[in-house]
Structures are given as structure tokens and as C-alpha cells.
Amino acid sequence: MKLTISLDDREIKILKKRAKKNLLDLREQVEDIIRRSCMNAGVSASNRKTNDELVNIFSREKRKKKR
């Protein structure tokens, strides 16, 4: 499957830096980010009440600070 996304130069620069740190190329880094987001969404996505499933997958829950 192919997916096209638009990123500005600043975002690409950040992703390239992160990819270099993880010894990946840019494409592998983006795939890793999406894969991790989807894996982590399985647990918490069911608690949110939105109509858009992609919002559920890629949004983070607010967490309370531990005391």
C-alpha cells in the first residue's frame, strides 16, 4: 500500500535527525512511528468517543501526573 503525506522542511529535518539517531532512513523512521502508534492505539482507542478512527489512532490521551 502506498500513502502520500505532505511535510514541510522543518518536519523533514526533525524526522531525518531522529532517523539518523535510530540508524534508519527517513522512510523506515516514518514507518516505525506509524507502526508504534497503531500498536499503542489498540489499548486506548476504545476509550475515546470520536467519529474519526484515524484521530483515535494517532491522538494521545492526557495522563494524570503521578504523585
**Predicted pLDDT at 10:** 95
Q: What is the dihedral of CA 47, 62, 9, 12, to 10 degrees?
A: -70
- For residues 8-37, average pLDDT: 93
Sign of CA dihedral 3, 42, 22, 66: positive
Q: Does the structure show a pLDDT above 60 at 48?
A: no
Range name among 5-14, 18-27, 43-52 with the lowest pLDDT average: 43-52
**Predicted pLDDT at 18:** 95
